[in-house]
Amino acid sequence: MKAIVSAPGKLMLLGEHAVVYDYPCLVTAVSSKIKVEIEIISTGIKIEAPQVKDVSFVEESIRFFKEKFKFKEGLSIKTHSEFSSQYGFGSSSAVTVATLYGLSQLFKLNLSKREIFDFGLEITLRIQKVGSGFDIAAATFGKTLYFITGGKKIEILPIDELPLVVGYSGVKASTPKIVNQIKERLRKEKGKIFGIFNKIGKIVEEGKDSLLAKDYQRLGFLMNENHQLLKELGVSTAKLDKMCEAARKAGAYGAKLSGAGGGDCMIALVPKLKKSEIEKAIEKVGGEIIKVKNNANGVCYER
Ligand code: PMV
């Protein structure tokens, strides 16, 4: 008995950090996926995960599943990632969701996507302690989502793929570390930080309307505003700022860092005709272009 399943990575479009504190965000799933192959074996647990970081998420998913559904069989699990865990595409969340979905298929539990999301969030919080769960939602449901902290709201937006360019800054960021830094600042400067979060929350609401109306000019403007607020939060880097600036100068509607900051990726919303010019401009300041589609499907059974 064997199941092969895959789950996508993600990119934050608008709303990072504020979404940890009961504000909404917009997230899109990307076409780069993590594949997980799960097989029932006689005894023991065998895990082959080339990305070392994934192992603890696979282990914790199995532990959670064993506790909840009381299975005793042995398991062999192999993971394969189409993207580097360096990019900040959410490989840990994708591997967690894929493992849960694979186990659900294999043991014929028929778990709903909502259940996969709830379990996935619990597992990742056991390991990372912090996080809104937006990445678990993207891996589970796919597409482009309007999401509120902990899955209080998960709305799939009826849109097409967005004209995005993705640039990697060459620096791997630690999301839990940066989220904890913001938590620390919140203790000292509550008014200021919540002032920024309120503005980000409004940007997300307006961004959702612009997305649905395909008003890319407006959406780009909102991305620039969001980036500025992330700079005020102190999570951008000189490299990310440079890459965003280069994209804007080369004709992007807007650009911002995507994710916790401190490195990882930036995204630019671009007029299709200017795409290659904008990619070159990002490369010129030292960014690496990552070719990836967005609005991709969520976790699915491959065979
Ligand atoms: O660094 P990433 O791509 O995993 O994004 C983190 C986004 C935060 O809002 C900072 C944290 C979260 O869990 O929502």
Q: What is the pLDDT of residues 5-32, one digit of tens each?
A: 999 999 999 999 999 999 999 999 999 9
Tell me which of 13-27, 67-81, 157-171, 188-202 is least confident: 67-81
pLDDT at 291 over 80: yes
User: Ligand 1 pocket test: which of 23, 28, 135 has the largest number of ligand atoms within 8 Å of its C-beta?
Assistant: 135
232 with 212, same domain: the answer is yes
142 with 181, same domain: the answer is no
CATH for 207: 3.30.70.890
170 with 264, same domain: the answer is yes
10 with 145, same domain: the answer is yes
Tell me which of 126-130, 141-145, 286-290 is least confident: 126-130
Question: What is the count of structural domains for the chain?
Answer: 2
Known catalytic residues are 135
Torsions phi, psi for 264 (to 5 deg): 60, -135
238 with 270, same domain: the answer is yes
Residue 86 pLDDT class (50, 70, 90 cuts): confident
Can you give the pLDDT at residue 82? 83
**To the nearest whole number, what is the mean pLDDT of the chain?**
95
CATH for 110: 3.30.230.10
Q: Which domain holds residue 258?
A: 164-290
* pTM of full prediction above 0.95: yes
How far is the centre of ligand 1, averaged over its atoms, from the C-alpha of 89 (Å)?
A: 10
Which atom of ligand 1 is closest in space to residue 265's alpha carbon? 3
Mean pLDDT of 154-175: 96
129 with 241, same domain: the answer is no
User: Ligand 1 pocket test: which of 179, 200, 203, 265 has the largest number of ligand atoms within 8 Å of its C-beta?
Assistant: 179
54 with 183, same domain: the answer is no
Mean pLDDT of 230-245: 98
Choose between 165 and 73: higher pLDDT.
165
Torsions phi, psi for 39 (to 5 deg): -135, 140
Which atom of ligand 1 is closest in space to residue 15's alpha carbon? 9
CA-nearest residue for atom 14, ligand 1, is 132
80 with 205, same domain: the answer is no
- Rounded Cα–Cα distance for residues 42 and 38 (Å): 13
Can you give the pLDDT at residue 52? 63
